[in-house]
Each structure stands twice: as structure tokens, then as C-alpha cells.
Amino acid sequence: MAEISMSEPFELFNLLNQCSGVSKLAEINYLCLIDARETHDYRMSHIITAKHAKMDSKRTFFLPEAVEVDSMQHVVVYDSNTSTLQEQDRAVQCAQELAKASLCPVHIVTGGFQRFSALYPFLRTEKIIYTIMELENLKAFPVEIIATLLYMGDEKHSVDSSILKDLNVFAVISISESNALESLQENQIIAHVPVADSVVADLFSSFERICSFIDSHINVGSRVLIVSRHGRSRCSAVAIAFLMHHFKYTLEEAWKYVLKCKPNMRPNTGFLQQLSDWELHTTGTKVTEISGPNF
């Protein structure tokens, strides 16, 4: 029987917004998202791509026929507002049934639909059936690094006014060789860091300034988006550096955290060495062995 645990809403948000050219939601074995609420609640509004799990006459959950739980990489369930495993509400009961078939941990969204939809109302829908093409073309948002405060994405995210509005982003940090964003945005503060995605490029000398910029905004509740061209190398290096600065994480701790938020992130080897130097700067010692298999 698979392990059952609680999961924060931003973790589901990040699962829904993974993208490798097209949305990961188009992969049939990527995410099993189950809505365990009453049928009328599900039909009224639910989290995008969620399937509905119903109860039989014995008050036991049975899962949608099309869902092959044992092949899924991620299994997530929610009800209206369950917040602990001790509540034994619909989400917990459904998770127990899912755990019998799942090969991976089953996660219950803390606070359920009420909390998730309050944080991300733009990911609510009445749509039940999707074609593969519709799933491939779903809009992917930037991933959330610090819940409701710090996001990480690519240049397309930074010029999409609907995304910036939905996420209520106030400041954008653009790490790129061009400064085109300055002429495209009017309502957001833009910080441009002109660094190429090259193993010889110097990002280290900008870490202090970038971290101070992010601090100045998130400390007053203002949301910040970090972007680079593809959203994988430069912006992830900056996100890792900020976590090391802000939470005093080691490089390995910050790396694993950002990797969980965006599994295809990958700072180039030059930036990795600079992050190792940044670890010495922020903690006073180099704790992380960057030649290890995790990097």
C-alpha cells in the first residue's frame, strides 16, 4: 500500500504547470488528479483536468474506469477542505483506495478545493473531457518557488499580460542578453541582468544585487517572477542562489528544492561552480560536493 501524505496547494500548482515543449498533462501516465467531492460540487467547478471519484452504495470510493493508477507518476486527491490525515474526510477515504493501487505516494491537497481555488481561481473549470491536443495546448504558468511570492519561468511568461495579472506579479527579473522586456511592460518593475547562458558567463557578481531586489519585494508581500530565455539554466541558478541567501540553505538543499518545483531545470556547469562559490559566501563553508551524482 502506497504512502499517504498531505501536500501544499503550490505543489499541485507546479505539477499542473510542467512543460517540455507541450504541457506534461498530455502524458497519459503523468498525473492522476482526483476530485473526491460530491458530484454536484465537481460538476459546478473543479481543478483543471481533475477526474471525479464516486462512492458506491457501501460508501466506498470507486475510481474512474479510464484511470490506471498503478502507472501514474503522480497521484493527488482533494475534497472540499481536508487539512489533516486525522480528519477521515472524503479525501482521506479516497486516498486510501488510491493507495491500494498506486505504486507512488498519494498526496492530499491541504485545504482542498476551497484553498486551492482561492489561491489559483484561474485553474478552476467546468470542463470534464479533454482531447490530447487540448491538453498539449494548455497554458503553462511559471512554477512557484515560494508560495504566493516567488515564481520562475521563461521569457514568454514575462510578456504574457494574462499570466502576470493572474499571478499578480509586480516585479520581473530578466536574466538575458537582451533587454527587450523594458519596452514591453508598463505595470511591472523590470530588473534586467545582462548575462548569457554560457559556462564562462559571470552570474556570481549579480547574485547579491538580485537577492536584495527580491528581498525588497517579497518582504512586503510583492510577487516576483524570475525569467530567462527557456526558463531552465539562468533563472534556476538565480532561484537557487536566492534560496541559499534567504533561507540559508546549502547548495544541495536549494538544488533539490528547485528541482522538485521544476524537474527539468539545469544550470550550466559554469553557474554550478558559481553557486558553489556562493555557498561559501552565504554559509562560510563549502558543504556541497558538486562533483557528486546529484549534479
Residue 235, all three cell numbers: 533563472
C-alpha span between 128 and 250 (Å, rounded) = 43
pLDDT at position 63 is 83
- In this predicted model, what pLDDT tens digit does every residue of 208-244 receive, in sequence order? 999 999 999 999 999 999 999 999 999 999 999 999 9
Structural domains of the chain in order of their starting residue, each with its CATH number: 4-136 (3.40.250.10), 143-283 (3.90.190.10)
Q: Which of 56, 232, 101, 219 is nearest to 149 (CA)?
A: 219
pLDDT at position 184 is 45
Judge whether 19 and 140 are in contact, CB under 8 Å: yes
Q: Which of 182, 186, 183 is nearest to 170 (CA)?
A: 186
pLDDT at position 187 is 66
Residue 293, all three cell numbers: 551524482
Within the chain, which residues score under 70 in pLDDT?
A: 179-187
- In this predicted model, what pLDDT tens digit does every residue of 78-114 receive, in sequence order? 999 999 999 889 999 999 999 999 999 999 999 999 9
pLDDT at position 144 is 98
